[in-house]
Amino acid sequence: MVTATRPTAHWILAHPQSSSFNARLFHEGSRKLAADYDVVTSDLYAQSFDPVLSAKDLGEPFGRAGNVVDLMGEAQAAGQLADDVVEEQRKVAAAELLVFQFPLWWYGVPAILKGWFDRVLTNGFAYGTLDPETGVPLRYGAGPLAGRRALVIVTAGEDERSIGPRGISGDIDSLLFPVTHGTLWYTGIEPLDLHVVHDADGLDATGIDAELDRLGQRLAGIRTETQLRPYRRLQDGDYRGTRALRADILADRTDLGIHRTGVDSAR
């Protein structure tokens, strides 16, 4: 990927209300980010993005039989993708930094963002390439989208304890593992540490200003930020011979944290 002197960031928002706290985070955050990046945006609700993967995403003739992944790859190669998908892929391809912003709904992402993942991250664009030496698919830290980073901004209605490591709602890092690891890292995108706004529903004016300032401070340093405990790369040998972590690494643990490197994951 060729990176210009001034890099590009693609900010994807998934919230339906233009007058919401999320909207303020989106507008003020993207303006702050514009100090260091050329920022392009996708306001999924505002642009009425269709989240439903359907026959139009699987190439022509519509309704033909076959494996969905294979059909999407053929449609990608033949230039038969829908215009809205092509436009989103163009933005992703040009970006060094991706920002995904959404409220935590039912302990996951809003359906419109899940549909964005389904339709935009197609076979042949986000995955499906093979290692030229081994013939093994390039995944988990490698692949077509490697070299990009992603910041996930999530607003949650619960406090830091209830959605923490021992919280009744589950640990936020584990809840969003399907996004950060199963979607982003799978396609080669490096996810930065989550940016979580707790008690988002109960913030008063002072609290909102504080959160806007906290996000602004983080964005000011985002160009040089790295993940504190990166995910393990599939190609580095920790999963040698299988997609399960080697038995000699953290043998007494089965939590999702085993897939990160760092002090807590020391061998």
Place of tokens 């829908």: 82
DSSP element (H, E) containing 10 = strand 8-13
Point out which residues pair with 154 in neighbouring strands: 102, 196
State what percent of residues in the chain have pLDDT above 90.
Answer: 67
Q: How confident is the model at residue 227 (pLDDT cuts 50, 70, 90)?
A: confident
Place of tokens 């998908």: 85
Of 27-36, 108-117, 131-140, 246-255, the one with minimum mean pLDDT is 131-140
pLDDT, position 265:
45
pLDDT, position 167:
86
How do residues 157-213 score in pLDDT, each as one tens digit?
888 788 888 888 889 999 999 999 999 999 999 999 999 999 898 889 999 999 999
State what percent of residues in the chain have pLDDT above 70.
Answer: 97
Q: What are the percentages of helix, strand and coil residues in the chain, rounded to 5?
A: 35, 15, 50
Report all structural domains of the chain as residue ranges with CATH numbers, in order of start.
8-228 (3.40.50.360)
Q: How confident is the model at residue 266 (pLDDT cuts 50, 70, 90)?
A: very low
Q: How many residues appear in the chain?
A: 267
pLDDT, position 61:
84
Q: What is the mean pLDDT of the chain?
A: 90
Does position 155 have pLDDT exceeding 90, yes or no?
Answer: yes
Q: Which residue has the higher pLDDT, 138 or 132?
A: 138
How do residues 54-83 score in pLDDT, each as one tens digit?
999 998 887 788 899 999 999 999 999 999
Residues 6+ apart with CB under 8 A from 129: 137, 138, 143, 144
Separation of alpha carbons 126 and 106, rounded Å? 27
Query: What's the whole-number mean pLDDT along residues 125-139?
Result: 84
Separation of alpha carbons 43 and 195, rounded Å? 19
